[in-house]
Amino acid sequence: MATSHPVLVFDSGIGGLSVLSALRKSLPEAPILYVADNGGFPYGTKSEAEIATRVPALLGRLVERYDPALLVIACNTASTIALPFVRSALQLPVVGTVPAIKPAAKLSKSHVIGVLGTEATIRQPYVDHLSEEFASDCKVIRQGSANLVTLAEAKLRGEKSNLALYQQELNRLLEQPEGGQIDVVVLACTHFPLVKEELEAVAPRPLLFIDGSEGIARRARYLADDLASKCELKSLWPLNENEKNQPNNKLLYTAPTEILGCFKENIKKQGLNEIVFL
């Protein structure tokens, strides 16, 4: 296992940065290749067939080119639709992202929880199964939002946030029947934790917003350690004496895009040192 084999983190855009933060704490020694599929963005408004076709094919090419040690699909929409196809096609450990309904059900006192995701995610049977298995004693209210994805992307570009737009999206969830009893909101899109502060600011009452990033990071650490053990290594990414614990982390776009100075600064804060194109 070569030390250059990265952890490939994949999303339709920059939403997976919310997962990347937890991953870097869990795997500080691992080089990260973060892939933003801006060529296919946004996923949330696409059909299941489009996503099930595009994601495995694109990931297959990326794995062949960059030979990662581990793949993290940091996208709820891609995971709930394409994860089984990806796992069957690729010969490497794969971590998916699913709505954090299980922990939400445990934390809710009112037994009414909200799930805020993309339209493509909230309509998936997988969400039905999670609700039935882990939140059978709860009312699960879902709301899709493509606008929050756009707002999160704009925030990373340095654009000012209009809180009224966040208020509008949150109200669409809370104004549903029994929505007034929601006390926990699952952020079922990796873009949404990036605007958690804005959602908290416009909430009409204290709400607990949760996501699955910590669980994803723990799973990635477990799989990395398990793979190292099978390869009879202490670590998949051992450092030599001349290396500091600062792996070269890259952001890769699948299509040309304008890179603004403010955005460069924001991704550097996330530990991504270089921007490249597929």
pLDDT exceeds 80 at position 22: yes
Q: Establish whether 75 is a catalytic residue.
A: yes
User: In terms of domains, do 65 and 35 share one?
Assistant: yes
Specify the DSSP class assigned to residue 224.
H
Q: 3-state SS of the chain: helix, strand, coil percent to 5?
A: 45, 15, 40
Q: Does residue 190 lie within any of the structural domains?
A: yes
- Give the whole-angstrom CA distance, residue 113 versus residue 101: 8
- Give the whole-angstrom CA distance, residue 45 versus residue 142: 16
Question: Does 60 appear as a known binding residue?
Answer: no
User: In terms of domains, do 230 and 246 share one?
Assistant: yes
Q: Does residue 2 lie within any of the structural domains?
A: no
pTM for this predicted structure: 0.94
> At CA 90, angle to CA 191 and CA 187, rounded to 5?
15
Q: Does residue 81 lie within any of the structural domains?
A: yes
Question: Does 12 appear as a known binding residue?
Answer: yes
pLDDT exceeds 80 at position 240: no
From the list 138, 189, 231, 262, the catalytic residue is 189
Specify the DSSP class assigned to residue 250.
E
**Domain containing residue 186:** 101-210
pLDDT in tens, 134-183: 999 999 999 999 999 999 999 999 998 899 999 999 999 999 999 999 99
pLDDT in tens, 77-127: 999 999 999 999 999 999 999 999 999 999 999 999 999 999 999 999 999
Residue 28's pLDDT band (cuts 50, 70, 90): very high
User: In terms of domains, do 198 and 227 share one?
Assistant: no
Q: Establish whether 231 is a catalytic residue.
A: no
pLDDT of 213 reads 97
CATH code at position 148: 3.40.50.1860
Question: Does 126 appear as a known binding residue?
Answer: no
User: In terms of domains, do 192 and 130 share one?
Assistant: yes
Number of domains comprising the chain: 2
Average pLDDT of span 208-230: 96
Residue 189: closest CA among 31, 1, 19, 62: 19
Average pLDDT of span 195-223: 97
